Copies of this chain bind each other. A is one copy, B any other.
Amino acid sequence: MVEIQQKRARDAQATRQALLDAAAALFAERGFERATVRDIAARAGVNQALLFRYFGSKKALFGEVLERNGREQLSATAPESLLEAALRGMLLADDGRLGDRSLEAFLRSTGGSDEVAATGRLLGDEYARVLATLSDRQDSQLRADLVLSWLLGIGLMRVVVGKEPLASADPDEICELVLGAARTLLEGLATPVPASGA
């Protein structure tokens, strides 16, 4: 019964994977609520009922997307590189690139006050915790949250709002501006606040 299935015309594994990929993209693009199960299934090229067969619910699918994409990217990136990696992932999201869209999906799916937000919050907390290790200030957590907020805002402004000139701006240029200010904020070098730990 539980045997190895190599390549079948009807491939449950492939269907699952297609649903996961489509969901990751759509959740990142539109957020949890605006990404409908019908659209996800359509992009995956499968019947929408299969989504519920394989994942149980839209929320469970969302959780699995965050779990699969997010955690692995998070753990595979050095803390010093995480900020730039997250920012670039956010900036490249609309270019067809399929990088780390889990943070984007989480940030974009903030509306629901239920377990959806809770699921994503765990991921956001991890990002913030890692970012906070870059700062030795006593308010490093707050600074990390502010940096994360910036990434969220930039992503939303670019993709969802489509605000110009930001939406069409060169990612490298944005990186230069944002990373400079964000690192300054995290390291607290240029802020007039008297150093507490540094």
Query: Is A89 close to B, CB under 8 A?
Result: no
- Interface positions, chain A 169-192, Cβ under 8 Å from B, are 169, 173-174, 176-178, 180-182, 184-185, 190-192
- Interface positions, chain A 75-104, Cβ under 8 Å from B, are none
- Report B-chain residues with C-beta under 8 Å of the C-beta of A176: 191, 193
Q: Is the CB of B152 within 8 A of A156?
A: yes
In the complex this chain forms, how many copies of it are found?
2
Q: Mark A139-152, 1 if CB is under 8 A from B, else 0.
A: 10111011011111
Q: Is the CB of A161 within 8 A of B110?
A: yes
Q: Which residue of B lies closest to A188 (CB)?
A: B177
Query: Chain B's nearest CB lies how many Å from the CB of A133?
Result: 15
Q: Is the CB of B149 within 8 A of A154?
A: yes
- Report B-chain residues with C-beta under 8 Å of the C-beta of A38: none
Query: Is A30 close to B, CB under 8 A?
Result: yes
Q: Footprint of B on A, CB under 8 Å?
A: 30-31, 33-34, 107, 110-111, 117, 120-121, 124-125, 128, 139, 141-143, 145-146, 148-154, 156-157, 160-166, 169, 173-174, 176-178, 180-182, 184-185, 190-193
- Report B-chain residues with C-beta under 8 Å of the C-beta of A190: 180, 184
Q: Is the CB of A156 within 8 A of B110?
A: yes
Q: Is the CB of B169 within 8 A of A177?
A: no
Contact of A177 among B151, B156, B161, B185 (CB under 8 A): B185
Given A110-B160, A181-B184, is A146 in contact with B124 using a C-beta cutoff of 8 Å?
no
Given A128-B163, A149-B156, A157-B148, is A173 in contact with B142 using a C-beta cutoff of 8 Å?
yes
Alpha-carbon distance A31/B160, docked complex (angstroms): 13
Q: Is the CB of B192 within 8 A of A163?
A: no
Q: Is the CB of A146 within 8 A of B117?
A: no
- Report B-chain residues with C-beta under 8 Å of the C-beta of A125: 163
Contact of A111 among B34, B149, B177 (CB under 8 A): B34
